[in-house]
Amino acid sequence: MVTKKTKQPWPTKDVMNQIYDMKLWGGKDVDFYSGFGSHNPDIVNPYLDYVISFLKSQKKPLVVCDLGCGDFNIGKHLIKYSEKYIAVDIAEKLIDRNKTLFKATNLEFLCLDISKDKLPLGDCVILRQVLQHLSNTEIQRIVKKLEHYKYIILTEHIPIEDFIPNKNIISGQGIRIKQNSGVNLLKPPFNLRVKHHKLLVENILENGKGKIVTTLYEI
């Protein structure tokens, strides 16, 4: 989104606040709603099964940093499998609401712009359908910070067939799929360096609207 006066993109924080205020991702009857990808049981349940299995497989519980926690419909299920769960989002009202609704001794909520602010320390990052809404410049800033973690669990909405990775967009509600593109951190301009990567779960959406793919990266 751009302003008429400057023709420059709005700050990402303002864009995300507007998305929630205007309920552009749905959820007309609730205060905050992070979209069908965080609420459709056909998508959510297999995802939780694989992520919980991964967290439980660790010899020692991990400190998990959920970067873009949204309405916390996903993260609330993962707290008990973590040594500490740090849930981050850019929307301040959303974080304030989450602090009120969700309580645990090992849970912390932070309001941060993950492309600009220093990220919390941890073992594992969860990025669930976050990068797909951001410009390449913002993603590049984030990728530089991801090298400090051991694991990344990344979920992205991408085309079903072959596509051109990482076409640039203006940060906002939309994603790259209309340009037959999607985020691939291993490809230019991001070139994330990993030891291993493994597909965890894939959901093909109806009506040719692409697929939601979750990949585990070991840094």
DSSP string, the chain: -B-TTT-SBPPHHHHHHHHHHTTTTS-TTSS----GGGT-HHHHHHHHHHHHHHHHTSSSPPEEEEET-TTSTTGGGTGGGSSEEEEEES-HHHHHHHHHH---TTEEEEE--TTTSPPPP-SEEEEES-GGGS-HHHHHHHHHHHTTSSEEEEEEEE-SS--EET----SSS--GGGGTEE--TTSTTT----SEEEEEEEEEPGGG--EEEEEEEE-
Q: In this prediction, what percent of the chain has a pLDDT beyond 70?
A: 87
Q: What is the CATH number of domain 12-218?
A: 3.40.50.150
User: What pLDDT was estimated at residue 138?
Assistant: 95
User: What pLDDT was estimated at residue 11?
Assistant: 74
What's the whole-model pTM score?
A: 0.90
Query: What's the pLDDT tens digit per position in 145-170?
Result: 999 999 999 999 999 999 999 999 99
User: What pLDDT was estimated at residue 8?
Assistant: 43
Query: What's the pLDDT tens digit per position in 80-122?
Result: 999 999 999 999 999 999 999 999 999 999 999 999 999 999 9
pLDDT of 76 higher than 90: yes
